[in-house]
Structure 1
Amino acid sequence: MKTHYWVSFCLAVAGQAALAACGPDEGTCETTSGEYHIELPDADNPPLVVFLHGYGGSGSGTMNNRGMVAPLIARGYAVMAPEGLERPDRGGTKSWNFYPGFGDRDEAAFLNEAVEDAVQRFGIDSDRVVLGGFSAGGFMVNYLACEAPETFSAYVPVSGGFWRPHPEACEGPVRMFHTHGWTDNVVPLEGRLLGGGMYHQGDIFAGLEIWRIANECVDTKPSGFSTTGQFMRRNWMGCAEGSALEFALFPGGHTVPKGWADMMVDWYEGLPGS
């Protein structure tokens, strides 16, 4: 890790937020295992949303998604966008090591390292860190939550679940809010074959069954249904203490939908202890 850093703050979002910069590259913070970008609200000890980009994306690209980042900053959340690992076999395309052969980096260790770095530099509230991600980032969120659900306070994947073969079981309990598009044809709800049949994206509803088992839910039937704007939502209650599971479906395709940030924060802040 570099030992000499400078930190500057550039006004953004009408003066309500600041882009934190570490080291020689403005907007980029470096740790031993990788890099991240972070934007801070005008608040002390803020909670943090860590959001993982999709396949071929970047952390800087995530920060440019103002429709997602700006509402989180306005709600008092810092936003971190880590950089995925470059895959030499794909011309340096960035993604996440959630499946055998997808890379060598210990992603859980890297994300823990990045969060701890941000806690030390920027005063992030380490007890209120949410992990989200889109597409390949959403797959990474599911796999990390499956193996070590206690790592983050909640998990909020968008358009990403598991690959086949699905995990036989996941650790629990977990607090998860999964969001997916009805017309998503990149990560369809039923999954799809990739690489000439070498890889098979999993079924989102099969993934929800795995999470219900991990959360020790007493029934497969949802406990309640609701709508928030374009989102059709269902949740499962009567599960293990400390758990939460909700699924939101929207009519669009493969995207982080408008309104997701506020809906997610409302859900998270409604959880006990959040």
Structure 2
Amino acid sequence: MSAVARWMLVWAALLAGPVLAECGGFGGACETAQGTYLIEFPDQDLPPMVVFLHGYGGSASGTLRNRRMVEPLLARGYAVMAPDGALRNGRKSWNFYPGWEGRDEAAFLAEAVQDAVRRFDIDPDRVILGGFSAGGFMVNYLACATPDAFSAYVPVSGGFWRPHPDGCAGPVRLFHTHGWTDNVVPLEGRALGGGRFLQGDIFAGLEIWRQANGCADNRPDGFAATGPFLRRHWTRCADGSALEFALFPGGHTVPAGWADMMLDWYEGLPGG
């Protein structure tokens, strides 16, 4: 099946609403041993892919309904995979917190990516992992534990929880985006569950990433402004690593313009 034909089937299914069916037959959910995902394609062969994890209580179909994020990714030649989180307390989310019982998310996402590569001829060397809120927390923990599993990590509005990790497995390519007025995942973190869980400090998380990347200094060595985004980056770090932080004036959301800004960053990396 050509890339155009696959895309048309998926798009027709999205207009009609998500349907659990044979993967690729009318764009239904793709099933693996551990979960499901939806996928949408650009009009090209062997596309790179952005895997994007929804927030707490979200869904794969909800991810693909965010057209201001999905359309720019497709327009620039990227497939968009939207996995479904597993049920936690009756709502879909991600098993990111150390010590929680539940699905092995690293294994599920590796399985889902391998499935998409096999079924749809995705470029296996150019797969980016992103996520929002709880999905963003999941991205950070996976990047910390398995820095080489994806070609880059791009969390939005999610970092670590306290206690922060003592360290991460190695250098990583990571672009964190956060809202200045985010009060769901504040930059300073907050208590949840009557104080049983504590969101971490985003800037403490950046310190962990600087250490993992072997950066020469805590100070950023570059600043930029892209539309409403205020950006800072660290480049005097380990070969092959990359670290950037973008702050925008909004709250708890995937902001307009994020997709193009993120891809500009990714495509500017060696091998991106």
Decide: shared fold, TM above 0.5: yes
Rounded to whole Å, the distance in 2 between the matches of 1:12 and 1:25 is 9
* Unaligned 5+ runs, structure 1: 1-6, 14-18
Where does residue 33 of structure 1 map in the other structure?
34
Decide whether the 8 Å contact of 2:10 with 2:26 is kept in 1: no
Where does residue 86 of structure 1 map in the other structure?
A: 87
- Is the helix fraction higher in 1 or 2? 2
Q: In structure 1, what residue type is equivalent to 2:29?
A: T
What is the identity percentage for the equivalent residue pairs of Structure 1 and Structure 2?
A: 72
Find the partner of 2:252 among 251, 254, 259: 254
CA–CA separation in structure 2 for the residues paired with 1:152 and 1:247: 19
Letter in 1 for 2:71: A
Contact 2:10 2:27 in 1 (8 A): no
Structure 2 distance, partners of 1:232, 1:193, is: 27
Q: Which runs of 4+ in 1 moved over 3 A?
A: 19-26, 100-103
Structure 1 position 214 matched with structure 2 position 215? no
Secondary structure of the 2:112 match is helix
TM-score for the superposition, normalised by structure 2: 0.92
Q: Separation in 2 of the partners of 1:272 and 1:181?
A: 28
Is 1:272 the counterpart of 2:270? The answer is yes
8 A contact 1:96–1:102 mirrored in 2: no
Would you say 1:185 and 2:183 are equivalent positions?
yes
Q: Distance in 2 between matches of 1:43 and 1:26?
A: 17
Alignment map for 1:130-169 (pairs within 5 Å) = 130-169=128-167
Letter matched to residue 64 of structure 2: M
Structure 2 gap segments, 5+ residues each: 1-5, 13-17
Q: Counterparts of 1:255 and 1:102 in 2: how far apart (Å)? A: 26
Which position in structure 1 is the counterpart of 2:78? Answer: 77
Q: Match of 2:9, SS?
A: strand
Whole-Å Cα distance in 1 between the matches of residues 11 and 94 of structure 2? 29
Task: Give the aligned CA root-mean-square deviation in angstroms.
Answer: 1.8
AA at the equivalent of 1:94: K
3-state secondary structure, aligned to 1:36? strand
Please state if 1:199 is matched with 2:186. Answer: no
CA distance in 1, matches of 2:232, 2:143: 20
- Distance in 2 (CA, whole Å) between partners of 1:100 and 1:271 is 31
